[in-house]
């Protein structure tokens, strides 16, 4: 008979643990949660102390049967799921389903999957911490109640299919409000003065003015004075400085640094970290603790001293901003400091090495720097210039974590030295509003505000994108010109330089849906959307985990006020919820014209819902919003679709604007006409675009077998498709020679691909 059964939540984790435990142990996986709240109303009994009605996942019945059989043939069972609240809840559900007594069943936890950690955990088992389980269930219940009571309100008042979430809706609000701040920003023009001095050995010394100039007249005065000036090094100031290493990684700081250094999304970072943890390479990756174990500190100290020398070691301890009961008790660190690279693939290896370097650096000496500031004065102007440099005297932790790109060495200069001006230049700069969020900076903002928990940030940010409230994309910006003044060889030239104002890359933008839903929720569900209230809820969940508050009390206090808001929402008009704005009445029909939010975003409506004839709809003009479109602009849009004329063979050509911009349509063939205007496009222009599209379509179709199976030319070469699945054509096969049977065979042999989130180019 097997002596011990160990149950974990991950098959990969089970495989790693089996390597360290002896033959007296069998390790099985529950493959995550085995029970959950059904996705239907009533799964939380609000009249019976908010009792959750859990159901076994139908897909887990086979897993449960295997676990039950293994438990029966074992002397005892050790529940070894992750050590946070979610892991504690998994352990409790397993105990409930297997009919194990939570008060006596052994529960083991460990921060890392190593032999020493496992041996220590097995020697010191505990029982299931019901306070952690209660805290997890409280969070689950809160999220369920908000989702199942608030989402239907959005369906009735805004649009079917929308959803709301206790943390996700607040995260969307942050993105929406940031965009509003950017839209409200009025650019201010300033000039920054720079100069290049050429030294006797040919070295170029760049310098800048310490202030910004308000207008071009101020700059002209300075440059005119510089024409006849002699430039002198009036002072050289050197100050010592230090640069300290950062603390070891927590969940959120790992996500931020992996985004900055490696370009990984928070979701990808957590998936990679999960694999590294389950393989035994790093400690548990869901933590907000900055603590490092004595054993780890000792091992790192020995490694640093041996590898780099005694002067590089500096024992450091870090204090966490907040230590919540749900999190692990160590920061994220490598389990073996002697291993610099680890992981099953290149992405894992890069993330592991980042963790290794950050952890090691946290126990190393500060870098010693020398900051130099050179002041350069002009004989005919009061406007001085400064050149700044920084030299690394002792690299300390930088030996491991790398130097900053800001490090600049200045050439050797002496006081009162005369410098030769090569050129001075002033470029106009237009100020920008606050920066849009990236996924990483949104993580940082959520953490700083105490909204949600670091372990949930990756899934939250993924959810608000997949549900269409936020998009990640690029902003092309607006073409503008700025003034540039340049003094060179005694001559001042003034030019206008083109540039793209507001250009952004890989940022988070709120969608129209996100804006409308956020405005509606902020106005009518203020408490749920309040940042301070959301933070207080997280603190109350921590109090439950610490046995200082009761789950039922927290849920009742929240639900009493929340449910009143849901009841009161019945009186909200749909027009108000969709931000319908009455622009005026059509002079020909007398019907009202509205700009409002519809199923596919902002749109125009002529006529009232329920009236006869039925209302007509049109898109907003390009670049306009609900709050900015004018009545005259709206009337023009109702002139679409416009009959442009006919093709040479008599088919109608109509111009219109759709979700993806202006187009013409002939039969069922749509042709983009960007950047032309559907109101003014000529018949000749339309015919040329249509002919070009026909040619492209003809070249695209290599073969059409009539049942949906086609051989097409794509962006990346020929391929086979049936409309649902695409398949590559073998390199040694001529696409034109493929038969119907061959095409079907290649399609059948090609596995279905999972849909991946896409990046969209945003235009404003």
Q: Write out the catalytic residue numbers.
A: 284
The count of other CB atoms within 10 Å of the CB of residue 367 is: 22
CB 529 within 8 Å of CB 519: no
Residues comprising the chain, all counted: 764
Q: Alpha-carbon dihedral of residues 99, 103, 105, 110, nearest 10 degrees?
A: 130
Determine the Cα angle at 335 with ends 331 and 338, to 5°. 120
* Pairwise CA distance, residues 534 & 388, whole Å: 45
- Quickly list DSSP for 75-89: EEEEE---SSHHHHH
Q: Which DSSP helix (H) or strand (E) runs through 219?
A: helix 216-227
3-state SS record for 244-280 = CCCCCECHHHHHHHHHHHHCCCHHHHHHHHHHHHHCC
The count of other CB atoms within 10 Å of the CB of residue 24 is: 9
Which residues are within 8 A (CB) of 546 and not within 5 positions of it... i.e. 6 or more apart? 131, 325
* Pairwise CA distance, residues 331 & 466, whole Å: 30
CB 46 within 8 Å of CB 59: no
* Pairwise CA distance, residues 440 & 457, whole Å: 10
The count of other CB atoms within 10 Å of the CB of residue 148 is: 18
Q: Counting beta carbons within 10 angstroms of the beta carbon of residue 480, is it exposed (0 to 12), middle (13 to 18) or buried (19 or more)?
A: middle
Give the position of tokens 């250094």. 261
> In this structure, what DSSP letter does residue 663 have?
E
CB 433 within 8 Å of CB 182: yes
Q: Alpha-carbon dihedral of residues 16, 17, 19, 24, nearest 10 degrees?
A: -150
* Pairwise CA distance, residues 573 & 530, whole Å: 23
| Pairing outcome for strands 616-619 and 652-658 | unpaired
* Pairwise CA distance, residues 385 & 374, whole Å: 8
The count of other CB atoms within 10 Å of the CB of residue 365 is: 24
How far CA 348 is from CA of 13, 15, 101, 269, 274, in Å, comes to 16, 18, 39, 9, 10
| 648 SS3 class | coil
> In this structure, what DSSP letter does residue 452 have?
S
* Pairwise CA distance, residues 131 & 136, whole Å: 9
């Amino acid at each position: 008979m097997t002596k011990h059964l160990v149950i974990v939540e991950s098959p990969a984790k089970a495989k790693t643990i089996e390597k360290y435990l002896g033959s007296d142990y069998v390790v099985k996986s529950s493959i995550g949660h085995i029970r959950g709240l059904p996705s239907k109303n009533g799964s939380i009994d609000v009249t019976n102390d908010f009792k959750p009605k859990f159901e076994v996942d139908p897909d887990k019945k086979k897993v449960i049967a295997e676990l039950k059989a293994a438990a029966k043939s074992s002397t005892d069972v050790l529940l070894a799921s992750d050590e946070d609240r979610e892991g504690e809840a998994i352990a409790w559900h397993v105990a409930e389903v297997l009919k194990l007594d939570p008060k006596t069943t052994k529960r083991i936890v460990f921060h890392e999957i190593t032999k020493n950690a496992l041996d220590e955990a097995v020697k010191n088992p505990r029982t299931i911490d019901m306070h952690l389980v209660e805290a997890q269930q409280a969070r689950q219940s809160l999220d369920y109640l908000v989702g199942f009571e608030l989402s239907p309100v959005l369906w009735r008042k805004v649009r079917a299919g929308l959803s709301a979430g206790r943390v996700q809706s607040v995260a969307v609000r942050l993105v929406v409000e940031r965009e509003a701040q950017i839209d409200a920003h009025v650019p201010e023009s300033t000039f920054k003065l720079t100069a290049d001095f050429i030294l006797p050995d040919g070295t170029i010394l760049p310098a800048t003015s310490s202030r910004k100039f308000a207008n071009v007249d101020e700059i002209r005065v300075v440059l005119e004075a510089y024409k006849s000036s002699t430039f002198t090094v009036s002072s050289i100031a050197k100050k010592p400085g230090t640069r300290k290493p950062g603390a070891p990684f927590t969940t959120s700081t790992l996500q931020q640094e992996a985004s900055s250094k490696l370009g990984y999304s928070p979701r990808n970072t957590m998936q990679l970290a999960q694999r590294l943890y389950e393989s035994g390479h790093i400690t548990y990756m869901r933590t907000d603790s900055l603590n490092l174990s004595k054993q780890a500190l000792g091992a790192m100290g020995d490694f640093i001293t041996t590898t780099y020398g005694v002067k590089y070691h500096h024992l450091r301890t870090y204090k966490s901003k907040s230590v919540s009961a749900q999190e692990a008790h160590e920061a994220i660190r490598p389990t073996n400091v002697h291993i610099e690279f680890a992981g099953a693939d290149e992405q894992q290896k890069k993330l592991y090495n980042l963790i290794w370097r950050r952890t090691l650096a946290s126990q190393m000496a500060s870098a010693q720097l020398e900051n130099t500031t050179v002041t350069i004065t002009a004989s005919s102007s009061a406007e001085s210039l400064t050149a700044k440099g920084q030299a690394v005297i002792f690299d300390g932790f930088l030996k491991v974590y790398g130097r900053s790109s800001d490090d600049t060495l200045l050439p050797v200069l002496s006081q009162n030295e005369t410098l030769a001006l090569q050129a001075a230049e002033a470029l106009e700069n237009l100020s920008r509003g606050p920066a849009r969020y990236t996924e990483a900076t949104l993580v940082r903002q959520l953490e700083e505000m105490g909204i949600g928990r670091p372990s949930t940030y990756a899934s939250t940010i993924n959810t608000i994108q997949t549900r269409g409230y936020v998009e990640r994309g690029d902003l092309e910006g607006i073409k503008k010109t700025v003034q540039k003044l340049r003094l060179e060889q005694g001559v001042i030239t003034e030019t206008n330089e083109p540039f793209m104002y507001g250009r952004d890359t890989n940022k988070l933008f709120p969608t129209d849906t996100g804006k409308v839903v956020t405005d509606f929720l902020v106005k009518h569900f203020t408490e749920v959307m309040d940042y301070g209230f959301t933070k207080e809820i997280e603190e109350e969940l921590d109090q439950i985990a610490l046995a200082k508050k009761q789950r039922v009390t927290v849920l009742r206090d929240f639900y009493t006020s929340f449910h009143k808001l849901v009841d009161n929402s019945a009186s909200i008009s749909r027009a108000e919820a969709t931000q319908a704005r009455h622009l005026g009445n059509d002079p020909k029909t007398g019907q009202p014209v509205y700009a409002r939010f519809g199923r596919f975003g902002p749109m125009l409506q002529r006529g009232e819902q329920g009236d006869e004839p039925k209302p007509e709809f049109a898109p907003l003009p390009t670049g306009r919003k609900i709050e900015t479109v004018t009545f005259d602009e709206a009337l023009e849009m109702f002139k679409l679709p416009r009959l442009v004329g006919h093709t040479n063979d008599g088919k109608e050509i109509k111009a219109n604007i759709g979700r993806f911009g202006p187009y013409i349509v002939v039969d069922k063939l749509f042709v983009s006409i960007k950047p032309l205007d559907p109101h003014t496009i000529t018949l000749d222009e339309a015919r040329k675009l249509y002919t070009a599209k026909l040619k492209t379509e003809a070249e695209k179709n290599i073969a059409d077998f009539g049942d949906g199976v086609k051989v097409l030319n794509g962006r990346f070469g020929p391929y086979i498709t049936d409309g649902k699945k695409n398949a590559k054509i073998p390199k040694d096969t001529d696409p034109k020679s493929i038969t119907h049977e061959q095409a079907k065979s290649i399609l059948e042999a090609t596995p279905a691909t999972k849909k991946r989130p896409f990046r969209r180019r945003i235009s404003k």
